[in-house]
Amino acid sequence: MSVYVIKKRLLHLVRRVLAMMEGWLWGLALALEKAVVLEEMAVYEKTMRTALEVTSLGKWVVVQDRKLIGTYDTFQDAANVAIERFGRGPYLIKEVGDGFPKICPLVA
């Protein structure tokens, strides 16, 4: 077997390993993102929800790094600010008074 053939086979093997690792790494990133957003949700529920339901019911909030970033009139306004400031995230965008958060996934 020539050195050329060995190099081609090795290159093919490396490409396959990289493709497998890429899928695994994306899966890991998504799992970590979900864990962070669940933590943001827990912080919101524990420390922010009650006060915000009095002052900002129906508005949208962005929570990132365990901090309230701001309240916004629409989801789109909240998302625009979150993307502008934090890129892909993760962060929590939630309507005050609604039990279901909007989780912004990673975008390839």
CA 62/CA 44 separation, integer angstroms: 10
CA 108/CA 106 separation, integer angstroms: 6
Mean pLDDT for the chain overall: 89
pLDDT tens, residue by residue, 49-60: 999 999 999 999
Q: Is 69 helix (H, G, I), strand (E, B) or coil?
A: strand
Q: The whole model's pTM is what?
A: 0.72
CA 67/CA 81 separation, integer angstroms: 14
CA 108/CA 93 separation, integer angstroms: 20
Q: What is the pLDDT confidence band of residue 100, given thresholds at 50, 70 and 90?
A: low
- Hey, where are the domains in the chain? 3-103
Give, in degrees to the nearest 5, the angle at Cα 98 between 84 and 58. Answer: 70
Amino acid at 62: V
